[in-house]
Amino acid sequence: MKAATDGAKGYRRLIPSMTALIEFEAVARLSSFTIAADELGVTQAAVSRQVRILEETLGVQLFHRGHRSIRLTREGEALFAVVAESMQKIAGIFDRLSSGNEEQELVLATTAAFSQFRVLPRLARLKQLQPNLKLRLTTQMFTADLRHNEVDVAVRYGNGSWGDGTSTWLFDEEVFPVCSPSWLEAHGTPESLADLAGTALIDYDSTSEGWLAWEEWFHALGARPPRLHYALRCSLYTDAVQAARHGQGVALGWGQLLHDLLASGELVRLEVASLKVRDSYFAVVRHGRALTPAIQALIDWLGGEKGSS
């Protein structure tokens, strides 16, 4: 292989095969030679051959090959990180130069709570900023694998480290009790965590992404009340918030999500305690998806709308 590149000039001397890099990126992103071959419209043997050529050229092994699975080696992970980012930039400029001013549809995946409380109230502003952008919203109960769907941008809550895409930090979060003005007038403000534990709490199911419910919230603050008084339990956070709006008790308020409801006075923050959580919200673009100007504008809007409408 060395002899084949002895006379090459410029990038060609170091990168003998762009085809091999493209096929390597697909295999690494999809964790499968077969699925990568289907996506690229070639045979599995052709993909395997290109990856093998790349490994021989570099003199390193890029994949650990098991009987029914493959995974990147340390060298493969290092190459994939750079290749995936470069492919996104190249595809992005191609998309920008070829699309002109045509309308573009982007698929944004969020939880139902993020969509209802953060995205929908701000869509008019997004339309002003990006008049040619069409948005398709899809709500997810759990974190879906971006490598196997057509989502353009996913909003996730966590530490920002996911293997199926590139993360952009949006904003941090703070969690505190909220209720309706009518409930506060009737019951007053709890003066301690012990008082709060005994009041009418509206609970919702915790999520695998790290969202806290009441019990986890109290524990994170170092409180271990012997018993929590639940007035209502909900599966969905959106239902818990609506119940609080209608005066059914006290719910946990995720500050960035409920900013508009707090600003309008429909919900009131109880100052008895607050928790700044370690995780944050991130926008995630799957590896291999072009970071187009439209996608970047959507991410900027998602992150730039902190505390504004």
For domain 2-96, give the fold.
Arc Repressor Mutant, subunit A (1.10.10)
Say if residue 134 is exposed, middle or buried (CB neighbours under 10 Å; 0-12, 13-18, 19+): exposed
Helices and strands: H and E segment counts in the chain:
14, 13
The CATH number given to 101-172+279-304 is 3.40.190.10
Say if domain 174-276 classifies as CATH 3.40.50.2300: no
Residue 197 is predicted with a pLDDT of 95
pLDDT value at residue 1: 43
pLDDT score of 260:
93
User: Within the chain, which residue ranges are assigned CATH 1.10.10.10?
Assistant: 2-96
How many other β-carbons are positioned within 10 Å of the β-carbon of residue 171?
16
pLDDT tens by residue, the chain, 309 residues? 444 445 445 566 667 678 888 888 888 888 888 888 888 888 989 989 999 988 988 899 999 988 778 889 999 888 888 888 787 777 766 665 655 545 568 889 998 899 999 999 988 888 888 888 888 888 876 666 676 667 889 999 999 988 888 899 999 999 999 999 999 999 999 999 999 999 999 999 876 567 789 999 999 999 998 899 999 999 889 999 999 999 999 999 999 999 999 999 999 999 999 999 999 999 999 887 778 888 888 999 998 754 443
What is the token pair recorded at 39?
Answer: 């996506």
* Phi, psi (deg, nearest 5) at residue 263: -65, -35
Rounded to whole angstroms, the maximal C-alpha distance in the chain is 85
pLDDT at 97: 63
Structure confidence at residue 144 (pLDDT): 64
Q: Which of 154, 177, 131, 188 is nearest to 272 (CA)?
A: 177
Contacts 24+ apart (CB under 8 A), 92-97: 92/290, 92/291, 92/292, 92/293, 92/295, 94/290, 95/290, 95/292, 95/293, 96/292, 96/293
Q: Locate CATH 3.40.190.10 in the chain.
A: 101-172+279-304, 174-276
- CA–CA distance, 106 with 35 (Å, rounded to integer): 24
Beta strand 104-110 with 133-139 is: parallel
pTM, two decimals, is 0.67
State the pLDDT at residue 14.
Answer: 64
